[in-house]
């Protein structure tokens, strides 16, 4: 129990800071838009199951379980059959008034996680990203919101799990925002991306918070 409290206290400390972190890119066609397209395509091209990536995804599971238990001490989590919220603001208002965080139970097929673990991961993500501790506003369902959510997650997991988290959060969100549908969940790491410093892409320079192909990589 003491260890669980320490995890949540550490998360809360980091969580109070991450919204003020400077992002490496800015909105626009050569900023987060291009980054999202590159990640989405990498996710589409990734194999469904890479045996070498399994250990990284398994490293996430203990974190999910501990954080889910901590979240349930603050809100009641209910798994429902329909998408419960219109947008992120609707989510926050409903949770604030009811004390209940509703999580859609569909689309839980995962190559290695049980349905229970997959749903718990979804609940952890929604709470950490969109339901703020007192004094914070929460993030949206857009690319910036997912990036900020990822940054919050990243500070509470072992470094070995970063690649898996990137696939689960940034990979899937980028695919959805660019292709318009939820992707098949995969066990794979997306090559060419810095999982710690989001925005850094192999073969690209960052100039004025925008991505440009390195000259020796231009076609």
Q: Is residue 2 part of a domain?
A: no
The pLDDT-based confidence of 150 (bands split at 50, 70, 90) is: confident
- The pLDDT value given to residue 34: 97
pTM: predicted TM-score of the whole model, two decimal places: 0.82
The residue segments making up the domain with residue 127 are 26-217
Q: What's the burial of 11, exposed, middle or buried (CB within 10 Å: 0-12/13-18/19+)?
A: buried
* Spatial CB neighbours of 29, under 8 Å, sequence gap ≥ 6: none
Q: Is residue 197 part of a domain?
A: yes
How many separate domains does the chain show? 1
Q: Is residue 1 part of a domain?
A: no
Q: Is residue 136 part of a domain?
A: yes
Q: Is residue 15 part of a domain?
A: no
- The pLDDT value given to residue 128: 79
């Amino acid at each position: 129990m003491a260890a669980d409290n320490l995890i949540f206290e550490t998360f809360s400390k980091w969580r109070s800071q991450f919204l003020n972190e400077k992002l490496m890119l800015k909105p626009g066609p050569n900023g987060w838009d291009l980054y999202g397209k590159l990640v989405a395509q990498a996710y589409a091209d990734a194999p469904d199951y890479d045996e070498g990536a399994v250990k990284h995804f398994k490293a996430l599971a203990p974190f999910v379980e501990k954080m889910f238990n901590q979240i349930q001490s603050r809100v009641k989590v209910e798994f429902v059959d329909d998408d419960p919220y219109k947008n992120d603001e609707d989510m926050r208002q409903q949770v604030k008034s009811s004390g209940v965080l509703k999580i859609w139970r569909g689309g839980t097929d995962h190559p290695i996680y049980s349905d229970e673990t997959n749903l718990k991961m979804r609940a952890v993500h929604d709470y950490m990203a969109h339901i703020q501790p007192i004094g914070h506003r929460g993030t949206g369902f857009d690319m910036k919101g997912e990036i900020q959510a990822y940054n919050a997650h990243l500070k509470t997991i072992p470094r070995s799990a970063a690649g898996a988290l990137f696939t689960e959060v940034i990979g899937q969100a980028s695919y959805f925002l660019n292709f318009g549908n939820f992707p098949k969940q995969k066990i794979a790491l997306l090559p060419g991306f810095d999982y710690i410093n989001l925005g850094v892409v192999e073969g690209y320079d960052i100039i004025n918070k925008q991505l440009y192909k390195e000259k020796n990589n231009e076609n």
